[in-house]
Amino acid sequence: MSHQARKRFGQNFLIDSRVIDLIIQSINPEAGQTLVEIGPGLGALTLPLLKKAGRLNVIELDRDVIPLLKDKCEGSGELIVHNIDVLNFDFNTLVEADSKLRLIGNLPYNISTPILFKLLEHAEHIQDMFFMLQKEVVKRMAAGPDCGAYGRLSIMLQYHCKVTELFGVPPEAFDPQPKVDSAIINLQPRLPECPVTNYPLLETLVRQAFSTRRKTIRNTLKTTCSVEDLQAVGIDPGARPENIAPLAYYQLCNYLDKKSHEAQ
């Protein structure tokens, strides 16, 4: 049986055995762990994961690949298939008292950012994540200040996680070949270096700051805070958003939240 990759699902099937081996080595799956694969496709990673762990949850939207996946994995362990859009999946249903989630996936390029932000909502229940993404997105996730790739995604992800770019994956590793390079990234949830007291405010601040990234922070946040507010937490009002470290955004959020409560 064969399956034609579908554009609407963003399907590009991994076929390079060398890359597959590198990913499995990086993950180092073990029996007893709660492994969850997002978008298993035809099972390039699914089968080796299942053989090592003995049990694997997979989230797959395309119902046509599920029989192929089950056939491929038959006799290799317990494969639990969830036929649902990952953006509608409740990850809390997989959380077990003695084991955090380990997430793996080749994320569809067109919805990778919404998936990442959804997973951040469950960060306290996640041990680590290994994802294949468009290389450009990986660069944005891992970027630091003073870099063109640095932005909202960098700051919000790094609030929750240690972000490590592992290695690149060329288009030739897939069938069909995508028009972009890919890369593997590892996300390890951790306690924030500066816990914020008002997370929605942080989201608003960062989104607003990078809405027009070539302007100074004084101008992009002029409806939210004053020059004095920026200076109070050590931010240069003349700096551009991309020149300001994540910690400074977290500190600004807490300063503004405290100021708001004191004014009430």
Residue 25 has what pLDDT? 97
> Would you say 49 and 29 are in contact if contact means Cβ atoms under 8 Å apart?
yes
In the chain, domain spans? 7-189, 199-263
What span, in angstroms and rounded, lies between the C-alpha atoms of 116 and 113? 5
Q: Does the domain made of 7-189 have the CATH classification 3.30.450.40?
A: no
pLDDT digits (tens, 9 = 90+) for 233-255: 999 999 999 999 999 999 999 99
| CATH number among 3.30.70.3270, 1.20.120.1200, 1.10.10.10, 1.10.8.100, domain 199-263 | 1.10.8.100
Residues present in the chain in total: 264
Q: Is the pLDDT of residue 89 over 70?
A: yes
Q: Which residue has the higher pLDDT, 87 or 13?
A: 87
Q: Which residue has the higher pLDDT, 97 or 198?
A: 198
Ramachandran bin of 234, using left for φ above 0, alpha for ψ from -120 to 50, beta for the remaining angles? left
Query: Cα separations (Å) of 22 from 19, 162, 261?
Result: 5, 20, 50
Residue 7 has what pLDDT? 45
pTM: 0.89
φ/ψ of 91, rounded to 5, equals -65, -20
pLDDT digits (tens, 9 = 90+) for 196-236: 999 999 999 999 999 988 899 999 999 999 999 999 999 99
